[in-house]
Amino acid sequence: MDRVHRTIDGYLRYAEHNQAAYRTIVSGGVGFDTEVHAIRDGVREAIVATIAEGAYGRRTVAPLARMGLLAWVCGVEGATLDWIGRPELSRDTMRELLVKTLGGALRAIEELDPAYPAPAPARRDG
């Protein structure tokens, strides 16, 4: 759980201190730049694979689990874009919100596909 907190905190810190670069990468830059899109999409897939490995012990998961994790990643990007434009929440609060929504995504994945149980830190029953 500490790793998740540190990783998300570092992500938010980067976005906060490199706002122009973050906006360009996440939003795809000015116009349609296939190279920027390819980098962004590659980073998204790497993040999904890393979360899958931490949660399920493997980097490749079934389509439903992959989509649930990708939805969380894309939600983080959108929320972070809004947060750097309107920093009404502290970074600590924003980090905790994102950690908790990851837990919610992992529980939703488990509910729809029991072959992908949420890891213990994401569970509400223990």
| Model confidence pLDDT, tens digit, residues 40-63 | 889 899 999 999 999 999 999 999
Could you tell me the two tokens for 119?
């890891």
pTM (two decimals) = 0.90
Question: Residue 112 CB: number of other CB atoms within 10 A?
Answer: 12
| Model confidence pLDDT, tens digit, residues 60-111 | 999 999 999 999 999 999 999 999 999 999 999 999 999 999 999 999 999 9
Number of domains composing the chain: 1
- Range of 88's domain? 2-122
Distance between CA atoms of residues 39 and 37, nearest Å: 5
Question: Residue 69 CB: number of other CB atoms within 10 A?
Answer: 25
